[in-house]
Amino acid sequence: MEAKLAFPQDSPPLAILCAAKVAGVSLTIDPKLASGSAPTLHLGSGDFIHGVNTILRYIARVASVTSFYGQDAIQAAYVDQWLDYAPVILSGSEFEAACSFLDGYLASRTFLVSYGLSIADIVVWSNLVGTGQRWESLRRSKKYQNLVRWFNSIADYSDTLDEVVSAYVGKRGIGKSPAPSLKEKLPDSKQNLSTPEVDLPGAKVGEVCVRFAPEPSGYLHIGHAKAGLLNKYFAERYKGRLIVRFDDTNPSKESNEFVENVLKDVETLGIKYDIVTYTSDYFPQLMEMAEKLIKQGKAYVDDTPKEQMRSERMDGVESKCRNNTVQDNLSLWKEMINGTERGMQCCVRGKLDMQDPNKSLRDPVYYRCNTDPHHRVGSQYKVYPTYDFACPFVDALEGVTNALRSSEYHDRNAQYYRILQEMGLRRVEIYEFSRLNMVYTVLSKRKLLWFVQNKKVEDWTDPRFPTVQGIVRRGLKVEALVQFILEQGASKNLNLMEWDKLWTINKKIIDPVCGRHTAVLKDQRVLFTLTNGPEEPFIRVLPRHKKYEGAGKKATTFTNKIWLESADASVISIGEEVTLMDWGNAIIKEIKTENGIITELLGELHLEGSVKMTKLKLTWLPDIEDLVSLSLVEFDYLIKKKKLEEDEDFLDNLNPCTRQEFSALGDANMRNLKQGEIIQLERKGYYRCDAPFIRSSKPIVLFAIPDGRQKPATN
């Protein structure tokens, strides 16, 4: 690949030049841009990319170095953080503090991100080099040995880096690195640059095996995403194995639809696994273990009615069946296996300790009858293991070393270890993390299923749902979800998280790159006639994003009759000068009303007027037939209370209005929107295209994306 890099001679983008060398991108240098301009990469295809970080990300993606932009979405998010922070922390008063931080950060690392060279290493390295003597003095002082070790290893990576350094860096360095082209607000330089490292007790590199074990009884939601990403984190950190295992032990709730969509969600989250397994793969071994425990007197068959059994467990009262003979238990076990009327009255319980203060150890149920067909094995079985019985068994059998469980299972950890002991299997270490709870949200799959079955939502992908597919359909970028979850790390502290924080992260990702368009509400618009406007409509080609040329172009039609929002028209005064965005100024000459309602504005263009002097900056649409119909959809929380207490029923706290649609007209360029594309409607907000243009009689459907500031009515 060949390209031309244009930049100001007084501030060569060292990070880009070094990255291109390592990536094998051949650059023709054109150092003739005006001072202060951001660099531009001109491609052989005629396309061009503008801005330091945008160019760096492009180089990272086309590089022959496999790990250059990380190996998945999580690592790419880390790389992005380093791209943003490095020019700031390494080029000012924070320089030595940044070096100190990097020295500590690299104490147990070879590279900044994961286990291979990435563009993050090149950017930080080039920023250090770019300070010239300032870095060389610190380097010789041996004050930061870990940082120097890392720096030297990068320098040794490619001899070609010396060519760049000698060409562009003098004793005084190259000055401050160019700011990111999109001028995003950079985070505080003292902020941690990645999730704090968390250790698994007793874990050894290369010997760790973890598992992500969802039940196929629904789609993955944001809470499952946290569990999946943490398992992925530990598998990568310890160079271990990750198993995705479906805990399919309840045929009444499970289906192949859920299996397929869970795997789809796992892929969306960038979770790379070694193997997919099913608890049902081990049904024969599980049944053998249950029978073995019965024969050893460690389990018994109980026909106590369900409610009575629950009451006896709470009170520590032993079942009348607890002392059945082994022969009687085996006889009833056979009845259960055959699904007879007698067997259906029974369950298998572990004989642990009915007096234990921890009630989970009071003879838990191991097996129960269920005649519903299983989504994988059909009607082969009439008995199924409980999660409490199957999970430790399969964990041990599959070689899992560390089982990650949310802290809501804390009281059951003793049960997990005890059952492993009863089975005579090796110990599997449990690692706890806090469950992710979100405001105004239920995460129970049973409750989410209620919304689906009662048609309160479309399906599991509804934008009001906290499922991975739901929030992505709402307009959330997966990178934002990954960053949000990893910022929490593996904390054991219970937190009720705000959605606003997640949507704020999302905005920072979508705003710099999404195209801009214009819309006015159909039943809330006013015609503005420009008496000196163009006699014939004309078209100008404008950028869809003024600061990001990668968003493409749009054709804007200029006419002497345009549409304004009624809300804007209502605050305009006769004689007032206003600015029509992307056009210029106009002066209001007349306001026509009917029954107190504004029906039309008359005015004149005043294009020589200063936009800095006007109070109102107005969006507008030309009065032409090519405008497209839009359906703007806004959503609210399904629950009207921020946090439901344990004794509160979610059905008593349903939000009566969670979806609103508004008919609007949009600029003709929106005919080209693709499903899933994210745009900004000027002065309205961000939207995701859920249904693109098909025909004029059918509106384009746009879902409003929260930006972290807009508060739903329930707040």
Tally of CB atoms within 10 A around 320: 12
Residues 664, 601 share a domain: no
Tell me, what's the pLDDT at 713? 44
Residue 190 has pLDDT above 50, yes or no: no
Q: Which of 17-21, 424-428, 440-444 has the lowest mean pLDDT?
A: 17-21
Q: CA 320, CA 599: separation in Å to the nearest integer?
A: 84
Q: CA 181, CA 177: separation in Å to the nearest integer?
A: 11
The string of pLDDT tens digits covering residues 80-100 is: 888 887 776 676 667 788 888
In contact, 680 and 687? CB cutoff 8 Å: yes
Tell me, what's the pLDDT at 157? 60
Task: Name residues whose C-beta falls within 8 Å of residue 212's C-beta, 6 or more positions apart in sequence.
Answer: 227, 228, 231, 232, 242, 243, 244, 245, 266, 271, 273
Strand-by-strand arrangement of the 48-50 sheet = 26-33, 2-8, 40-43, 48-50
- Count of structural domains, the chain: 3
The structure tokens 């499970």 sit at 254
Q: CA 429, CA 210: separation in Å to the nearest integer?
A: 10
Token pair listed for 681: 């409607």
Please report the beta strands in 111-240, taking only residues with DSSP state E, as ranges in sequence order: 209-212
Residues 590, 638 share a domain: no
Residues 158, 15 share a domain: yes
Residues 104, 58 share a domain: yes
Tell me, what's the pLDDT at 493? 67
Of 622, 650, 667, which closes a domain? 622
The answer to the question of residue 217 being in a domain is no
Q: CA 76, CA 57: separation in Å to the nearest integer?
A: 10
Q: Which pLDDT band holds residue 208 (cuts at 50, 70, 90)?
A: very high
Tally of CB atoms within 10 A around 201: 8
Residues 635, 609 share a domain: no
Token pair listed for 236: 């990568």
Q: CA 132, CA 40: separation in Å to the nearest integer?
A: 25
Residues 37, 148 share a domain: yes
The answer to the question of residue 459 being in a domain is no
Q: CA 565, CA 618: separation in Å to the nearest integer?
A: 9
The answer to the question of residue 330 being in a domain is no
Of 115, 137, 168, which closes a domain? 168
Compare 394 and 648 and report the one with higher pLDDT. 394
Token pair listed for 676: 């899933």
Residues 151, 24 share a domain: yes
The answer to the question of residue 202 being in a domain is no
Tell me, what's the pLDDT at 139? 82
Q: Which pLDDT band holds residue 62 (cuts at 50, 70, 90)?
A: confident
Residue 578 has pLDDT above 80, yes or no: yes
Q: Which of 164-173, 216-225, 569-578 has the lowest mean pLDDT?
A: 164-173
Q: CA 146, CA 421: separation in Å to the nearest integer?
A: 45
Tell me, what's the pLDDT at 96? 81
DSSP string of 498-560, one letter each residue? -HHHHHHHHHHHHTTT-EEE-EEETTSEEEEEETTS-SS-EEEEEESSTT-GGG-EEEEEE-S
The structure tokens 């007096």 sit at 355
301-to-321, 336, 391 alpha-carbon distances in Å:
7, 9, 20
Give which of 562, 554, 596 is closest to 578, Cα–Cα: 562
Residue at 712: amino acid letter:
P
Q: CA 335, CA 344: separation in Å to the nearest integer?
A: 8
Of 574, 589, 622, which closes a domain? 622
Helix (H) or strand (E) holding 673: none
SS3 label, residue 65: coil
Give which of 607, 586, 596 is closest to 528, Cα–Cα: 586
For residue 283, the number of C-alpha atoms closer than 13 Å in the C-beta half-sphere is 20
Tell me, what's the pLDDT at 198? 61
Token pair listed for 619: 């969006």
Token pair listed for 235: 């598998």
Compare 55 and 486 and report the one with higher pLDDT. 55
Q: Which pLDDT band holds residue 528 (cuts at 50, 70, 90)?
A: very high
The string of pLDDT tens digits covering residues 13-27 is: 888 888 888 887 888
Token pair listed for 599: 């029906």
For residue 234, the number of C-alpha atoms closer than 13 Å in the C-beta half-sphere is 30
Q: What is the DSSP letter of 381?
A: -
**Average pLDDT value over all residues in the chain:** 88
The answer to the question of residue 682 being in a domain is yes
Compare 168 and 238 and report the one with higher pLDDT. 238
The answer to the question of residue 391 being in a domain is no
Residues 646, 604 share a domain: no
Query: The domain containing residue 33 runs over which residues?
Result: 3-168
Residue 174 has pLDDT above 80, yes or no: no
Residues 136, 102 share a domain: yes
Tell me, what's the pLDDT at 89? 64
DSSP string of 5-63, one letter each residue? EEEETTS--HHHHHHHHHHT-EEEEEEEEPTTPPPEEEETTS-EEESHHHHHHHHHHH-
Q: CA 417, CA 423: separation in Å to the nearest integer?
A: 10
Token pair listed for 337: 């296996």
The answer to the question of residue 411 being in a domain is no
Q: CA 75, CA 91: separation in Å to the nearest integer?
A: 25
Q: Determine if the pTM surpasses 0.95.
A: no
Residue 577's DSSP bridge partners are 587
| Residue 455 burial (10 A CB sphere; 0-12, 13-18, 19+) | exposed
- CATH code assigned at 121: 1.20.1050.130
Tell me, what's the pLDDT at 212? 97
The structure tokens 């207490």 sit at 645
- CATH code assigned at 638: 2.40.240.10
Residues 164, 109 share a domain: yes
Q: How far is CA 672 from the centre of its chain?
A: 26
Helix (H) or strand (E) holding 385: strand 383-385
Residues 20, 149 share a domain: yes
Q: What is the largest CA-CA distance in the chain?
A: 102
Q: What percent of the chain has pLDDT over 90?
A: 62
Residue at 188: amino acid letter:
D
Tell me, what's the pLDDT at 673? 96
Residues 109, 78 share a domain: yes
Residue at 548: amino acid letter:
Y
Highest mean pLDDT among 175-179, 270-274, 391-395: 391-395
Tell me, what's the pLDDT at 543? 94
The answer to the question of residue 542 being in a domain is yes
Helix (H) or strand (E) holding 579: strand 577-580
Q: Which of 9-23, 354-368, 423-437, 514-528 has the lowest mean pLDDT?
A: 9-23
Q: Which of 49-53, 221-225, 593-597, 652-656 has the lowest mean pLDDT?
A: 49-53
Compare 614 and 179 and report the one with higher pLDDT. 614
